């Protein structure tokens, strides 16, 4: 297999086939994927990466489609990455690329892709970030990173995004659930979708109150109401996202440097983990577990023994 | 502060105050928490640890309360740990211990606790496992580990549990969402709650079909229907859980050894991570980021440089 790094010129020339193959390479950690990312990185930093997350059933996909429409009308090119915390059993994205955004299939200004990140170096967060790099370097103005399904993806996507949109619905205690899952900390903009629900306004008020109570120096996230199905409120949502983008612009390089720092830390740790668990060390752990009998087994003492056996 | 290890005799004597303080110690990584866990570990292995997870709004808490009632009627003592992927902002469990299971407040055979795991050594999975150790060593027959809220906790809880129950509701495409989130892989028993919903039977059939398609040698997870609100189906659920427990009994020591192995690996990695990022290395990373300018920045090359500077 040729090195994925050879795809860089095609990506920079915005060739759709090269982009698709580059995304496959970073998703699966194919040979040369790291070199490809490194080659593209200096050409990144122009795209606006928007993470879209929230509980299942909140209408994230419909809202994503609305945002694609709004950004296209504003003359921007848009890539959509549906981040799917995959599993060996399901074998990846269930919502295939083909069934999404079918009405934009002939629009060269839109690129849609799901990302399962089974074998990515550094896990899902790194795969999401690398996918954004590919689409950024290919010249897309906006990259929408949408989480699919329950859990696991939120924090990863938040780490890869410039602006994080959390979508809630006024049902099932979602607002409270959002607090508990830590979504409150990562949100730059909240969107209460299904705005025609009788409790929508109450949820918006409750969210604003909680965000106000939070205090701190950072500006509180904005809360908007939308109805993704009929498009109501989408313009206001785009404005709220844009206002956050404007704030970021004041220290764009600093934001990017901080994200790169976090990312290098994560890559270092992932590389270390791969290097550390040699077959000798794995066997050493097995022996340690076998040598002590039930009465003497103790998790922390065993961990110290494995670490001490360096 | 005295070492938390001093709490071990009180925990083994099933003193509720010692148990509560021991749980606080492992939740927050207080001094001596690792020694406490090591001291208790040889007295563990008797309790049956059942993880209860699934999307928000599925009725997990109500079902947990039903299971507590069923196990109590069968003469077993029960501890409930509500695992809350906490955050600095919310400051821990929103559903306080006090508002849960209020009708059992005088029952010495029940112990209820929420677990936020802000400062636990080794993260939420280790905190959940250590909390189970405390309650196991204290003599509880059953420990119910329930995830609260959206995401993040599922896999951690699954790693700490003997039997994993995934609760779904016949709405919002939850069955499909469960597949996507990887819950399918960790489930030993599925429960479709709110059984009076018109789509309940269809979801049960679809789940069974998907599980059948999965193939493999392992026995397929059982799918049961419940209505936690009125208690319908809870007896059948208890039977399904019990059947899984019976299967585990055939190789209980092997199951425990494999879990200890995973846990020691995780502790080793957590200890390494703390030890690795000394202030010198953090400053080295900062310097590396400052020394290269925009054109030369590349995530993987920087990671290699930090690792190579050993």
In a domain, A215, yes or no: yes
Confidence of residue A96 (pLDDT cuts 50, 70, 90): very low
In-domain check, residue A267 = no
In a 3-state reduction of DSSP, which class is residue A45? coil
Q: Do residues B57 and B168 both lie within one domain?
A: yes
Q: How confident is the model at residue B91 (pLDDT cuts 50, 70, 90)?
A: very low
The mean pLDDT of B150-168, rounded to a whole number, is: 76
List all residues of chain B from 84 to 103 with a beta carbon under 8 Å from chain A. 84-90, 94
pLDDT for the residue numbered A281: 81
A19 belongs to a structural domain: no
| Residue of higher predicted confidence among B102 and A232 | A232
Kindly report which listed range (A119-128, B49-58, B63-72, B134-143) carries the lowest average pLDDT score.
Answer: A119-128
pLDDT score recorded for residue A104? 64
DSSP conformation class of A227: B
Q: What are the pLDDT digits (tens) for B203-238?
A: 888 788 777 766 666 777 899 999 988 889 999 999
Mean per-residue pLDDT for A267-275? 82
| pLDDT attached to residue A105 | 62
Shared domain check, B114 and B227: yes
pLDDT band at A92 (very low <50, low <70, confident <90, very high): very low
Pair A293, A234 in one domain: no
Decide if pLDDT at B297 tops 50. Answer: yes
Of A15 and B148, more confident: A15
Which of A184, A294, A299 minimises the CB distance to B87?
A184
> Does B124 touch chain A if contact means CB atoms closer than 8 Å?
no
**Banded model confidence at residue A87, pLDDT cuts 50, 70, 90:** very low
Decide if B19 is inside a domain: no
Does residue A199 sit in helix, strand or coil?
coil
Q: How many domains does chain A have?
A: 2
Taking alpha carbons only, the member of A93, A33, A104, A36 closest to residue A64 is A104
Residues B287, B245 share a domain: no
Rounded (10°) angle between helices A123-137 and A33-40: 50
Per residue in B168-207, pLDDT (tens digit) is 877 655 555 555 556 667 789 999 988 888 878 888 887 8
C-beta of residue A160 within 8 angstroms of C-beta of residue B65: no
| Mean per-residue pLDDT, B28-38 | 91
**A199 and A110, same structural domain?**
yes
pLDDT at B46 over 60: yes
Looking at residue B245, its pLDDT comes to 94
ipTM of the complex: 0.79
In a domain, B256, yes or no: no
Selecting from B177, B261, B264 the residue whose C-beta is nearest the C-beta of A150 gives B177
Structure tokens at B43: 């007295």
B282 lies in the same domain as B135: no
What is the overall mean pLDDT for chain A?
81
* Residue at a domain's end among B233, B251, B269: B251
Does residue B310 sit at the A interface (CB-CB below 8 Å)? no
Q: Are strands B48-53 and A163-168 parallel, antiparallel or unpaired?
A: unpaired
Task: Please give the helix or strand (H or E) that residue B171 lies within, else none.
Answer: none
How far, in whole angstroms, is CA B52 from its chain's centroid? 8
Based on the domain organization, do B191 and B287 belong to the same domain? Answer: no
Report pLDDT digits (tens) over A35-59.
Answer: 999 999 999 999 999 999 877 677 8
Show the domain range for B180.
Answer: 41-251
- The CA distance from B172 to B176, in Å, is 9
Give the model confidence (pLDDT) of A166-186 as tens digits: 888 776 555 555 555 566 677
Chain B residues with CB inside 8 Å of A276's CB? 269, 272
How far apart CA A120 and CA A29 sit, in angstroms, is 4
- Within an 8 Å CB–CB cutoff, is residue B27 touching chain A? no
How would residue A197 be classed by pLDDT, with cut points 50, 70 and 90? Answer: confident
Read off the pTM. Answer: 0.74
- Is position B173 within any domain? yes
| Of residues A190 and B280, more confidently modeled | A190
Is pLDDT at B73 greater than 80 in this prediction?
A: yes
- The model's pLDDT over A244-259, given as tens digits with 9 standing for 90+, comes to 999 999 988 888 888 8
Q: Residue B118 pLDDT more than 80? A: no
Instruction: Classify residue B287 as exposed, middle or buried by CB count within 10 Å of its CB (0-12, 13-18, 19+).
Output: exposed
* pLDDT at residue B295, rounded to an integer: 65
Rounded to an integer, the average pLDDT of B53-81 is 89
Query: Quick one: pLDDT band at residue B94, thresholds 50, 70, 90?
Result: very low
Q: Taking 60 as the threshold, does the pLDDT of residue A17 lie above it?
A: yes
Distances, alpha carbon B183 to alpha carbons A119, A188, B151, in Å: 19, 29, 10
- pLDDT, residue B258, reads 85
Q: In this prediction, what percent of chain B has a pLDDT beyond 90?
A: 37
Q: Which residue has the higher pLDDT, B55 or B305?
A: B305
Counting beta carbons within 10 angstroms of the beta carbon of residue B223, is it exposed (0 to 12), middle (13 to 18) or buried (19 or more)? buried
Is residue B70 in some structural domain?
A: yes
Same domain, B202 and B73: yes
B171, B208: one domain: yes
| Res A282: pLDDT | 82
| CB pairs A-B closer than 8 Å | 216
Residue A294: pLDDT above 90? no
CB contact under 8 A, B181 and A88: no
Q: How far is A304 from chain B, CA to nearest CA, in Å?
A: 7
Same domain, B247 and B295: no
| Residue B16, in any domain of the structure | no
**What pLDDT was estimated at residue B111?**
93
Same domain, B155 and B296: no
Q: Does B182 touch chain A (CB under 8 A)?
A: yes
Domain CATH for A188: 3.40.50.300
CA B46, chain centre distance (Å): 17
A179 touches chain B (CB under 8 A): yes
Round the average pLDDT of chain B to a whole number and report it: 81
Do B72 and B202 share a structural domain? Answer: yes
According to DSSP, the residues that pair with A50 across neighbouring strands are A144, A163
């Amino acid at each position: 297999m040729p090195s994925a790094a050879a795809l860089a010129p095609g990506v920079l020339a915005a060739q759709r086939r090269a982009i698709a193959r580059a995304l496959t390479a970073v998703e699966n950690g194919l040979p040369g994927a790291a070199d490809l990312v490194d080659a593209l990185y200096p050409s990144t930093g122009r795209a606006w990466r928007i993470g879209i997350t929230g509980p299942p059933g909140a209408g994230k996909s419909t809202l994503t489609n609305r945002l694609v429409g709004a950004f296209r009308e504003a003359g921007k090119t848009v890539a959509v990455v549906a981040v799917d915390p995959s599993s060996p059993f399901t074998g990846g994205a269930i919502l295939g690329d083909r069934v999404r955004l079918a009405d934009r299939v002939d629009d060269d200004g839109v690129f849609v892709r799901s990302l399962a990140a089974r074998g990515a170096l550094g896990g899902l967060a790194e795969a999401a970030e690398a996918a954004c790099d590919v689409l950024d370097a290919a010249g897309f103005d906006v990259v929408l990173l949408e989480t699919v399904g329950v859990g696991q993806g939120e924090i990863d996507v938040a780490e890869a995004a410039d602006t994080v949109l959390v979508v809630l619905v006024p049902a099932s205690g979602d607002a409270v659930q959002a607090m508990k899952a830590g979504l409150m900390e990562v949100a730059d903009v909240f969107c209460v979708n299904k705005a025609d629900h009788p409790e929508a306004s109450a949820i918006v008020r409750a969210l604003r109150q909680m965000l106000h109570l939070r205090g701190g120096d950072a500006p509180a996230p904005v809360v908007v109401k939308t109805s993704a199905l009929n498009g109501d409120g989408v313009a206001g949502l785009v404005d709220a996202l844009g206002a956050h983008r404007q704030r970021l612009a004041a220290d764009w390089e600093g934001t990017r440097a901080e994200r790169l720092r976090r990312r290098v830390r994560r890559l270092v740790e992932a590389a270390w983990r791969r290097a550390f668990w040699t077959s000798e060390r794995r066997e050493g752990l097995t022996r340690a577990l076998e040598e002590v009998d039930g009465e003497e087994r103790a998790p922390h003492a065993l961990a110290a023994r494995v670490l001490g056996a360096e």
